[in-house]
Amino acid sequence: MSVFDATTIMVGLVVGIGIFRTPSIVAGSVGSEGMFLLVWVLGGVMTLIGALCYAELAAAHPHAGGEYHFLSRAYGRSVAMMFGWARCTVIQTGAIAAVAFTLGDYVAQLAPAGPYGPALYAALAVIALTAVNVVGTTESKNLQIAVTFIEIGAVVAIILFGLFGSADAPARSTASMPPETAALGMAMIFVLLTYGGWNETAYLTGELKDAPRNIAKVLAIGTFILVTLYTLANLALLSILGLDGLRASDAVAAEMMRTVAGPTGETAVTVAIVVAAISTLNATIITGARVFYAMARDMTVLRWIGVWDGRGKTPANGQIAQGIIALALIALGAVTRDGFKAMVDYTAPVFWGFLLMVGLSLLVLRRRQPLRELPYRVPFYPLTPIIFCLTCLYMAYASIMYTGTAALVGLAVLAAGAPILLFQRKGEEDAPEQDAVPERRLPATSATEKR
């Protein structure tokens, strides 16, 4: 895989539907237009720092398990299993519900269905796509490439129409938000959510040509492209709608296109976003179910979830379990004022807590194995991982202090998973690494290794 290939994949992973939904929430959490743009640039810098830390971990410990494997090596299997529980019940299913709510918000622009319309569309989308995946149908590579270009095309359209479409277009305005309600922590939660997906890029080190030298190039170039796209897109939205207009809309891209291009422009960009949302939701459902399958294989109970459907070549039972949890979360979000925000609140503290532990695992493994030969070393060690860990710590704090009740629900669900450690399969515990012998890439043989 070339640098161009890997960079394209990174941009495709990160550019999703978040940019079409989060600007309104970010605008409601900052006090000025300058701060609104600054947080998007700052989010890009934090993304690059985190990606460089993941690059070292992935290059030194290549494994399909990703974070599960890093945590297992640094702290033991019990911590990794709690992470797996969190992925199944909070992080991944919460992400599915959040993406589904965004899909529902934009479908409701095309076909209004009352105050619960977005939640209804979200639930129907989860049911339909889960059913497709249970049968065994999956996305093709060509379809994913096409949808990625649709997503990027929609972002470019926003940039062009916003910056050059109509300088005289009237900006929508509502009552200004009092400055005391602004919270940088809340803004950064949603900015970094929009940049989410960069951690998957570190897993390309096994296929990237001359990975030790090129992985940093991929991450730097990819981050620069993302920061440029997101900053210009938000500048375009801001120039047409204004900060108050952004705060007032749940579908900012459709709102802006209606202002500068009329109903036709609004419909076109809304349809593009719906297509992109369906793809993102389907991909999230596919990857999430594999976590359910792998976790069940490591436990002495709930083994039925770990059954692989040979005919459909899919973890069908895991898909069903995941769909049920996601539907329960959509029902929870439906009774709140903003279902999308509620789902982000639900996942954020747990997500940032485990991301902090992954960052610390880099320090732990470096300290434990000082003589180990590393294919790639994060620059400015230990400053870079320390900055990353401090960022994660602040975001975990902000996720609790500046979010709603849903954040506490997410933490409670995480705590409720502690009993699963009693059902861990015997003889499967991974002790933290003690030697300085480099890992070798071996074929995955056990269910855990296949992760």
In this predicted model, what pLDDT tens digit does every residue of 290-320 receive, in sequence order?
666 666 666 666 666 656 555 545 667 777 8
Model confidence at 64, in pLDDT bands (50, 70, 90)?
Answer: low
Residue 160 has pLDDT above 70, yes or no: yes
What pLDDT score was predicted for residue 251?
Answer: 76
Among 215-219, 285-289, 362-366, the minimum mean pLDDT is found in 285-289
Residue type, 346: Y
What's the rounded mean pLDDT across residues 424-429?
57
**Assigned token pair, 308:** 């692989």
Residue 366 has pLDDT above 80, yes or no: yes
Q: Percent of the chain at pLDDT above 90?
A: 12
At residue 424, the 3 state secondary structure works out as strand
Residue 345 has pLDDT above 80, yes or no: yes
Residue 55 has pLDDT above 90, yes or no: no
Closest by CA position to 205, among listed 32, 375, 426, 377: 375
Name the most confidently modeled range: 54-68, 133-147, 179-193, 381-395: 381-395
Cα torsion at 50, 53, 57, 63 (round to 10°)? 20
Q: Percent of the chain at pLDDT above 70?
A: 76
Is residue 331 exposed (0-12), middle (13-18) or buried (19+ Cβ within 10 Å)? Answer: middle
What pLDDT score was predicted for residue 447?
Answer: 36
**Assigned token pair, 58:** 């992935």
In this predicted model, what pLDDT tens digit does every residue of 162-217 receive, in sequence order? Answer: 787 654 444 444 444 444 444 677 788 889 888 887 776 765 666 678 877 787 78
In this predicted model, what pLDDT tens digit does every residue of 67-124 receive, in sequence order? Answer: 878 888 899 888 888 988 898 889 888 888 988 888 888 888 788 888 888 889 999 9
Secondary structure (H, E, C), 260-291: HHHHHHHHHHHHHHHHHHHHHHHHHHHHHHHH
| More confidently predicted of 35 and 290 | 35
What pLDDT score was predicted for residue 241?
Answer: 85
What's the CATH number of domain 3-420, 3.40.50.150, 3.40.50.850, 3.40.630.30, 1.20.1740.10? 1.20.1740.10
| More confidently predicted of 366 and 439 | 366
Model confidence at 350, in pLDDT bands (50, 70, 90)?
Answer: very high
Taken in order 428, 431, 435, 437, is the CA torsion positive or negative? positive
Supply the mean pLDDT for the chain. Answer: 77
Integer Cα distance of 136 and 314 in angstroms = 6
What's the rounded mean pLDDT across residues 429-451?
41
In this predicted model, what pLDDT tens digit does every residue of 2-31 receive, in sequence order? Answer: 888 778 777 766 776 778 778 888 888 888
What pLDDT score was predicted for residue 363?
Answer: 95
At residue 359, the 3 state secondary structure works out as helix
Residue 242 has pLDDT above 70, yes or no: yes
In this predicted model, what pLDDT tens digit does every residue of 398-411 receive, in sequence order? Answer: 888 877 788 888 99
Residue 137 has pLDDT above 70, yes or no: no
Model confidence at 422, in pLDDT bands (50, 70, 90)?
Answer: confident
Integer Cα distance of 16 and 71 in angstroms = 27
What pLDDT score was predicted for residue 440?
Answer: 38
Model confidence at 386, in pLDDT bands (50, 70, 90)?
Answer: very high
